[in-house]
Structure 1
Amino acid sequence: MAEKNIVTINALTLSFDTPEGIHRPIRGLNLEVLEGEVLVVLGESGAGKSLLAKAIMGILPSEAKITQGSISNVYGFEQMAMVLQDPKKLLDPSMTIGKQIIESLKYAGVDKREWKRRALELLEEVSMDDPKMRFSQYAHGLSGGLAQRAVLAIALAKKPKLLLADEPTTALDEGNEEKIIRLLMDLTKKNHMTTILITHSLKVAMEAADRIAVMYGGKVIEFGKKDEVLKNPIHPYTKALILAANLISDGDGNLISINGNGPSPCDITIGDAFAKRNPKALVIDFLEEPPMMRVTKSHYAATWLLDQRYDEYRESKSSRFIV
């Protein structure tokens, strides 16, 4: 059976008018999301990941404008749900957890006679200990991990087809991080959902992803199946991320760090946005933006390293490809 695209993003550019000028946090971004997968969007803070999630969800800030490209989403707002980094910001401190789940069930059109039973089922579904007790609790009585489970229960009450989880484990300790990631994976399969997981953590990506889209400077610069991207990274930024996390060796067993900062949304970027931080950048990296090129039928990267002329020009002293 052919894989079905549920979200297709073509050459998307988002702009903000600010006193400092026009900011473009998303720049010519392309991405496809497949039905039933856990797609991890991976990158540093400031890459545009959270704004991408809001664009897919259809909740962009009023000052944001789509100035180029398009987003095609087979699901409407009522078929999507979102989970954020700080779960307690999503929970109403004046309402019990049970009441908040019931409000979501009301929105989903569930029969009133089923509200409490279904709310307790949802608390059990997200592996909440003692669902009856948690039903009557308020947010202030929950730890970070329990609060995130409560938010998931509220989100699942809508029976979403697409779940967007924006850094859902950042505020959690390592033990709770692993539990929440495993829970997201299990819920995706059990509820026949698609999940887009936004994260800066390679560890989370390794644990959760079916496919990975690496973002840098407002666009996807590499994507593919998890093992393709993590075991055979092609773009210099992806390689640097993995080396910096000490997931692969640099050959001498040295720890690697990525020097400098990512591009600002107000920068006018020419060439590869990572060139200024790449000690092995080619001359062409500063002159022309590389297109997305095929590595395998499911693995692509936007880097001149894949250009068929690379070996020939790299050895030529007159070439603009000289390292």
Structure 2
Amino acid sequence: MSKLKDVLLATDVFPEYSVPSVCGVSVIKVPARSKSKLAGKCVACVAHHKGNAVKGFIVDETNFSHWQELQNPLVTLEMLPNICDHIASPDIIYLEEMDLFVLSVHGKLRFSDDRARYGKQGTVLLTSTNGIDFRNSSDVFANAYSRIHIRTDKAVFLFEKFGAHHVKVGKLTNFPSSQSMSHLAYLTINNIRHFSVFDEGTNFKIFYTRIFDYPESIMVNEYSWNDFSLCSSHRLKMPFPNDLNLLSSFKSWPGMPLSPYYGCRDPFLFESDEKKYLIFSRNGEHAISVFDLAYGTFIPVKNDRFKVWRIQYMFGKFVRYLYWKFLKLKEVL
């Protein structure tokens, strides 16, 4: 495949919505020994930022050019009694020893007791024996924007977004029948948006983007499994040119983007045949793209430059305001 490829367009995947969006991609390779009809296949799921369904795809992992949509959504809002308004941020995993698929999604919480514990949004779990027909299997499970990670020794970890600047790490026992967790660490990442976790043996990496970044770029922090200390922090040089107008570079903010802007969201690292691919949403959630990481250039981040990026973001807002005033004045004249 080429180093960068747009594989899904928001207008094709979710044509029913007036505001285009496709995001929250998650991908797994189902082992061939699974009893599921998806055995030996690569499965992906995506959502609309304010949608009512998570859609699944069978993916040709050799070049990522063919994404075959499953006949029915993997989960719909009607299946989740604790969630209202929307569901997003799907994260699919496969428990090999149980031949069980687990899908987590987040959404706005319906009940006051849940909101008192988790805030406005939370994460729920669904399970499936075939990877297609999912059923709700839990009450609210964790904070919104959470990732479940399984290590090679079958240990299960929960990475849970905690406030605006932290990721809470815990170890789950008897998952998924029980969700008891022992807390291990808090990782500090300023204004982290959605993220994914990639295991590298003694260390692990968190791929993420940050709200207010300019442009919103893919970041990666490497941590030690031993003590969860930060080993390194890098920024991926933007893998595609700015083919939008200049002012669109200044639109990274919380929530759903209402128009295209130059930047990335929701990075997910997938490894196939010893090659690594970043799959992410770009241009204001208007497309899902796949990037061959062999072509990537990572720039070390020696100091956290978030304040610098935010100043540039505010400067961009000021420039847009001046441009708007100029257009208004032009209309008068």
Structure 2-normalised TM-score? Answer: 0.28
Between Structure 1 and Structure 2, the one with more helix by share is 1
Higher relative contact order (CA 8 A, sep 6+): 1
Q: Which has the larger radius of gyration?
A: 1
Between Structure 1 and Structure 2, the one with more strand by share is 2
Structure 1-normalised TM-score? Answer: 0.29
